[in-house]
């Protein structure tokens, strides 16, 4: 395979995607939810980042959400003993430069903070250069910056529903100005405790724009719809956010302020009714999510007319056990690439050229984003070029650090995924080198994880060496072992082999 200096190749599937950040919040703290919503408005893909409640009594749902969303890194919105315990128990959910400690870090030149992950200004740049730059000054897009009074009873809900640009992080870049000018957005101020404008149903708010240019794959069998809850209830707000983070299009209907939302909910139901069915032979349902009384939810929705039927779905901790709500996979682009494989010192090296990142602006004179982290998901179609080694280890998140040290050398760089591996890279990187891991080491680590010690026996080592040599450069020489009478007798029949093995073991 590697004779005469020839280098083997293999085909890989690559998907660029933003990092999925798990935001650790204090259970019961709406303040933490609002803070998480603000930070996510600054991140590309922020609408798909889950919030994870943490307390002494919420360990079950915390672990469920961590597993369900397969987050790449953690960010602690607040610091408590319980949150620190989650962080310490998941050391493999730190990014290579530990931005997860703070997400923001100081720019040495301006002494102001910049974002360590792909941020939302990349979205502005993308659309500005792609289509908005040539529009007249009077042109307004479908993007809307929603404003409200802090004294509004739904102020916290609005932060989660529409997103907002926080002003407390001493940021170098003006995200609000970029959103307004770069996307030619409209600006809408909600009347204090007044009716919600139904035009918002069709507008792109700051939090919704964070999902632009992202494709969705897979996900829950449940559908888009409406969440009925209280704007002052932590669990309702947290469930609403995570339903939307799973990839669903969901609007919030406050049962405490129902008349305020009547127009906007009617407009949203009409939009869902007008949306073509995903299967032309089966009519989609409009899902109604709620935590309270089923009859009360039916009574609330009885005031709304619909062509499609309502399907009522009660939410509780069981909803997040992985059998009900299933988050969608998000990514920018999907490409196939050919990678070169070299072998030195009994170790394979796979050199992968990374495709051009067309979703990132490459025009001259724009800001430098090379430091920002993103991810690339890698799936091997076939591994015959490095038999006995793999780049598709079993999906066991607890082995992230082991996989990372073996495959990428950096213990914080790699993430185990259902269909391969995810690699945390900087936006400026155009190639990566990976080292396929030998099957034997994976088996040993799996046993170690279960509390057992496993190692290959002497007979197993000899067999492995014989098979390896038969497959490599000098198979004729390796096969000489079969000229030995004892070896031929062992292979002649299972009975003979067993008798010999028992005798030799004695």
Q: For residue range 47-98, what is the model confidence (pLDDT) as tens digits? A: 999 999 998 887 889 999 999 999 999 999 999 999 999 999 988 888 777 6
Least confident of 151-155, 295-299, 464-468: 464-468
Name the band, by pLDDT with cuts 50, 70 and 90, for residue 504: very low
pLDDT at residue 479, rounded to an integer: 66
Which CATH code is given to the segment(s) 223-327?
A: 3.40.50
Q: pTM of this prediction?
A: 0.88
**Mean per-residue pLDDT, 448-454:** 82
The residues, ordered by sequence, that sit 6+ positions from 145 with a Cβ below 8 Å of its Cβ are 176, 179, 180, 185, 186, 187, 188, 205, 206
Listed in order, the ranges of the chain carrying CATH 3.40.50 are 223-327
Express each pLDDT in 316-344 by its tens digit. Answer: 999 998 888 999 999 999 999 999 999 87
Cβ atoms 259, 195 nearer than 8 A: yes
Rounded to an integer, what distance in angstroms lies between the CA atom of residue 352 and that of residue 390?
Answer: 15
Query: Is the confidence at residue 469, as pLDDT, over 90?
Result: no
Exposure string of 292-312, with b = 16+ CB inside 10 Å and e = fewer, is beeeebeebbeebeeebebee
Query: How many Å apart are CA 269 and CA 307, to the nearest integer?
Result: 9
From 10, 6, 1, 2, select the one nearest 350 (Cα to Cα): 10
Return the pLDDT at 4: 42
For residue range 249-299, list pLDDT tens digits in order: 999 999 988 899 999 999 999 999 999 888 878 888 999 999 989 999 999
Q: What would the mean pLDDT of 432-442 be, rounded to a whole number?
A: 91
């Amino acid at each position: 395979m590697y004779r005469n200096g020839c280098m083997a190749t293999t085909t890989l599937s690559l998907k660029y995607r933003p990092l999925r950040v798990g935001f650790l919040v204090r259970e019961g703290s709406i303040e933490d939810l609002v803070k998480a919503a603000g930070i996510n408005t600054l991140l590309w893909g922020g609408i798909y980042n889950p919030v994870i409640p943490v307390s002494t009594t919420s360990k079950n749902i915390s672990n469920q959400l961590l597993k369900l969303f397969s987050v790449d890194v953690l960010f602690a919105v607040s610091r408590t003993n319980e949150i620190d315990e989650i962080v310490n128990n998941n050391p493999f959910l730190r990014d290579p430069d530990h931005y997860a400690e703070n997400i923001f870090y100081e720019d040495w030149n301006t002494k102001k903070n910049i974002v360590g992950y792909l941020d939302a200004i990349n979205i502005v740049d993308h659309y500005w250069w792609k289509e908005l730059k040539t529009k007249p000054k009077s042109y307004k897009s479908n993007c809307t910056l929603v404003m409200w009074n802090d004294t509004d009873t739904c102020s916290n809900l609005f932060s989660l529903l529409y997103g907002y640009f926080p002003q407390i992080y001493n940021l170098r870049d003006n995200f609000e100005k970029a959103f307004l000018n770069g996307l030619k957005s409209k600006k809408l101020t909600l009347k204090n405790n007044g009716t919600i404008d139904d035009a918002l149903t069709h507008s792109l708010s700051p939090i919704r724009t964070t999902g632009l240019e992202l494709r969705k794959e897979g996900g829950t069998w449940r559908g888009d719809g409406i969440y009925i809850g209280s704007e002052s209830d932590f669990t309702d707000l947290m469930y609403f956010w995570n339903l939307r983070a799973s990839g669903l299009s969901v609007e919030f209907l406050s049962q405490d302020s129902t008349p305020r939302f009547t127009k906007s909910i009617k407009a949203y139901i009409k939009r869902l009714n007008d949306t073509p069915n995903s299967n032309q032979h089966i009519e989609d349902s409009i899902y109604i999510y709620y935590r309270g009384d089923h009859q009360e939810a039916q009574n609330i929705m009885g005031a709304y007319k619909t062509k499609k039927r309502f399907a009522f779905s009660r939410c509780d901790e069981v909803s997040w056990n992985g059998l009900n709500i299933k988050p969608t996979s998000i990514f920018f682009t999907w490409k196939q690439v050919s990678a070169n494989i070299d072998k030195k010192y009994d170790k394979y090296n796979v050199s992968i050229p990374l495709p051009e990142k067309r979703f990132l602006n490459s025009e001259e004179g724009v800001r430098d984003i090379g430091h920002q982290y993103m991810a690339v998901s890698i799936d091997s179609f076939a591994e015959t070029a490095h038999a006995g080694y793999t780049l598709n280890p079993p999906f066991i998140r607890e082995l992230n650090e082991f996989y990372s040290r073996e495959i990428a050398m950096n213990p914080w760089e790699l993430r185990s995924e259902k269909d391969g591996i995810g690699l945390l890279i900087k936006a400026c990187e155009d190639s990566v080198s990976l080292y396929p891991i030998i099957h034997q080491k994976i088996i040993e680590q799996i046993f170690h994880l279960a509390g057992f010690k496993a190692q290959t026996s002497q007979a197993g080592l000899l067999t492995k060496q014989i098979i390896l040599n038969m497959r490599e450069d000098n198979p004729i020489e390796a096969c000489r072992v079969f000229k030995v009478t004892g070896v031929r007798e062992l292979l002649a029949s299972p009975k003979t082999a067993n008798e010999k093995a028992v005798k030799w073991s004695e």
